[in-house]
Copies of this chain bind each other. A is one copy, B any other.
C-alpha cells in the first residue's frame, strides 16, 4: 500500500525558488575580487540563476553536462550553483589551490564543457586552457568592460555579457532527484584525485539536516558568512542551507585575512561564520593584536581540522562566541557530526562542556556511524575503544566517479580512514587519520592530541606531530614546530610544557623547528609531505 502524498522530487531549484518567494528581499552581500562590496537580494539571484540556465541552453549543453567554476565565494558563484544544477547540468567546483597539472587532470576527467572563473584566476586559466580539451566555453566572472584584452583564451567573454541577453522567465525542469547536481574532487595525498558526485536529493537532505538546531542552527534571523570556500565541498553546503532558511548571506571573496573578515563581519552583522582552524587562527590573532571584539557573531563553525582547546577558549571566553565544532568529509557532502550538547550537558561545569565541544560531536540525523576493529567487527561505544570510523547515509557517497580503484564502501558503509572513539552518548572523537596515528610499543598515540597540547604554548605558532622509526618502540612521536613570529622557545621548553598535560609515554621525543609546515589546497597539514621532508631525520640516540 503506497502513501497518497504528492511526489515532488527534492531539487536544488526548490531551494532558490523558496528563497525567492519567501525571502525575496533577503540580502546577499559579496566582497568582490575587485575589492568592492556588492549587494543583491535573493529575488535577483534567482532571476539571474535562471538567466544562467538560459545561457547554458543557448550553448546547447545537454542535461548532465559539467560546468566548472574556479571562483571565490560570491554572488555570481551562487547564481552558478543554482543556474547550473537547477537546469539539469552538473556544477563542478575546481579548487584553484591545487597544482595546475591537477586542475587539468580534473577538468579532463570530469569532461567539463564550460569554465567560469574569477578574474584573479586568469593567469591559471591562461596557463592551462589549451590542455583542458573538453572545455569549449570560457566565461570570466566580471563586468563586460573588465574582460582583459588579448588574454589568449578563445572566445572569452564576461559573465555579465553572457547572461544579459537571456530572459529571466525560465521554468526549472522537474528532474530525477537522484540526478547529479554537482561534483567535487578530493585532493588525495596519494594517487589521482577522486571525484564525489552529489545528487539533488543528497544536497537538499543535507541542507535540511545541517540547518537543524543541533547542527548549524540556521534561520531567517541569521546572517551567514561562509569563509570556507565554495570550491571546497560547497562551503560545507552553506550556499544551500542558508538559502533554504532565507538567512542573509555574506561572501568574503578572496579576502580571508583577519582584518578583511572582521571588517565585513562587523559591517554586515554576521551571526554565524564557518571556516577551517587556519582561517580562524588568523582572525583571532588579528583581533588579539588590535584589541578588537566580535560584536555580532554568535556561532563560529569550525571544521576541516580539529578545533584546539586554545581556539575554543579564545572564541568562548574572549569573544563570547559559541563554537560549533563539526566534522565531515568531501565524501559526506560534508556534514557528519556536530558537537552539540544535549539537555543533560547544560548543567555541566564549563570545563566539562568545553571538553565535550572539543570532540567531533554526534551524528546529525541522516548519518549513521560505527567504529570497527581490524576485522571490521563493530566496537562498543564506550569512549575508550578506538577503531576505524565508518559512516552511511543519504548524503554519503556510494562510489567515486570513474575511479578504477577499490570501492570505498564496504557492505554499505563508507570507510572514512579516520580512527575514532564514540562514547555512550554518541559523541565521536577522532583520534587521528589512520595513516597518521603513531604506533608506539603496541599503543596508539594520537598526533592530534599532541598537537593540541603544543598549540597551548604561546611560542608555538603551528605544530605537527609525526611518528618516526624507533628500533625498540616501532615508532615514536616528534613535534615539528613553526614558532610564533617574535617568539622564542627551546626544545626543552616545549617538551617541559607537556608535563601533566599528556601521559609521559606520549610526550614527543624531540622537537624540530621549521619555517613552515606544508598545507594542502584545503588548508590541511600535509603530513605525508612533512614525513618526506624529514626522511633524513634520526631520533637522538638512535
Chain A residues proximal to chain B, CB less than 8 Å: 1-8, 10, 14-15, 17-18, 21-26, 63-64, 90, 176, 178-181, 196-202, 205, 208-209, 211-214, 217-223, 244-248, 333, 340-343, 346, 362-363, 365-366, 368, 392-401, 409, 412, 414, 424-426
Contact B343 A398 (CB under 8 A): no
Find chain B residues with CB under 8 A from A180 CB.
1-4
* A6-B392, A211-B213, A214-B219 given; 5 more Cβ-contact pairs under 8 Å: A3-B179, A3-B197, A7-B178, A7-B394, A18-B363
Contact A22 B362 (CB under 8 A): yes
Distance between Cα atoms of A209 and B211 in the complex (Å):
9
Find chain B residues with CB under 8 A from A7 CB.
178, 394, 398
Find chain B residues with CB under 8 A from A196 CB.
4
Listed A/B pairs (10) with beta-carbon separation below 8 Å: A1-B179, A3-B198, A4-B401, A6-B395, A8-B392, A21-B426, A22-B362, A25-B425, A244-B365, A247-B343
Contact A396 B5 (CB under 8 A): yes
Question: What secondary structure prevails in chain A residues at the interface with B?
Answer: loop
A342 with B213, Cβ < 8 A, contacts A365-B18, A399-B4 known: no
Contact B213 A4 (CB under 8 A): no
Find chain B residues with CB under 8 A from A200 CB.
3
Find chain B residues with CB under 8 A from A179 CB.
1-3
Find chain B residues with CB under 8 A from A205 CB.
208
Find chain B residues with CB under 8 A from A366 CB.
14
Contact B5 A202 (CB under 8 A): yes
Distance between Cα atoms of A220 and B6 in the complex (Å):
30
Distance between Cα atoms of A63 and B2 in the complex (Å):
11
Question: Whole-angstrom distance from the CB of A342 to the nearest CB of chain B?
Answer: 4
Contact A397 B23 (CB under 8 A): no
Contact B398 A5 (CB under 8 A): yes
A212 with B201, Cβ < 8 A, contacts A7-B398, A22-B363, A220-B342 known: no
Question: Whole-angstrom distance from the CB of A312 to the nearest CB of chain B?
Answer: 19
Distance between Cα atoms of A171 and B222 in the complex (Å):
41
Contact B393 A245 (CB under 8 A): no
Question: Whole-angstrom distance from the CB of A180 to the nearest CB of chain B?
Answer: 4
In the complex, the chain B residue whose C-beta lies closest to that of A182 is B3
In the complex, the chain B residue whose C-beta lies closest to that of A196 is B4
In the complex, the chain B residue whose C-beta lies closest to that of A369 is B21
Distance between Cα atoms of A202 and B7 in the complex (Å):
9
In the complex, the chain B residue whose C-beta lies closest to that of A202 is B5
Find chain B residues with CB under 8 A from A212 CB.
208, 211-213, 218-219, 245
In the complex, the chain B residue whose C-beta lies closest to that of A177 is B3
Contact A2 B213 (CB under 8 A): no
Find chain B residues with CB under 8 A from A395 CB.
5-6
Find chain B residues with CB under 8 A from A363 CB.
18, 22
Question: Whole-angstrom distance from the CB of A532 to the nearest CB of chain B?
Answer: 32
Contact A213 B202 (CB under 8 A): no
Question: Whole-angstrom distance from the CB of A212 to the nearest CB of chain B?
Answer: 6
Find chain B residues with CB under 8 A from A346 CB.
221
Find chain B residues with CB under 8 A from A21 CB.
368, 426
In the complex, the chain B residue whose C-beta lies closest to that of A215 is B219
Contact B245 A202 (CB under 8 A): no
Distance between Cα atoms of A244 and B366 in the complex (Å):
9
- Within 8 Å by CB of A220, from B2, B18, B214, lies B214
In the complex, the chain B residue whose C-beta lies closest to that of A341 is B221
Question: Whole-angstrom distance from the CB of A383 to the nearest CB of chain B?
Answer: 14
Find chain B residues with CB under 8 A from A426 CB.
21-23
Contact B5 A201 (CB under 8 A): yes
In the complex, the chain B residue whose C-beta lies closest to that of A403 is B4
Closest 7 interchain pairs by CB?
A3-B199, A1-B64, A22-B426, A213-B219, A5-B202, A220-B342, A4-B197
Question: Whole-angstrom distance from the CB of A399 to the nearest CB of chain B?
Answer: 5
Distance between Cα atoms of A218 and B201 in the complex (Å):
23
